[in-house]
Each structure stands twice: as structure tokens, then as C-alpha cells.
Amino acid sequence: MTEHYFDALEQKIDRLIHKIDELEQENRRLRDQEGKLREERAQLIQLSNQTQGKVEAMIQRLKSLEQSS
């Protein structure tokens, strides 16, 4: 095998290592983003449930006022 073959192989290996590093960084960013989105989703679900409870309470109060009139 020639020196040229080994140089070409070394370059390919270097490119693969670089690509792996890029993919690992992207993977970390995506996992961080996923964690933030999960937290945001949980907060939105909690807010939605609170809002639903308040709306139901207002409806009940309105019904009570209507019946007492």
C-alpha cells in the first residue's frame, strides 16, 4: 500500500471524527431543547387545568346566581 493510500485513509478518518463531534454536539443541543420543551408542556398543561377549573367555577357561580334570581 502506498503513502497516498494511507494519507487518503487518514483524511477520511479525520472527517469521520469531525462529523461524529458535530453530531454529538447536535445531539446534546436537541436533548437540551427536548427537556425545555417538556418542561414548557408540563407548565402549559398545568395552566390549562387551572384555567379549566376557574371557568367551571365561574359557570357554577353563574348558575347559582341564575337560580337564586
State percent of the chain over pLDDT 70.
99
Please compute the mean of the pLDDT values over residues 16-41 and round it to a whole number. Answer: 98
Q: Would you state the pLDDT for residue 35? A: 98
The single residue listed with the C-alpha cell 376557574 is 54
Closest CA to 67 of 56, 52, 59: 59
First to last CA, the chain: 99
Decide if pLDDT at 69 tops 80: no
Contacts 24+ apart (CB under 8 A), 17-24: none
Q: Is this prediction's pTM over 0.85?
A: no
**Over the stretch 33-56, which tens digit does the pLDDT of each residue have?**
999 999 999 999 999 999 999 999
Model confidence at 18, pLDDT cuts 50, 70, 90, reads very high
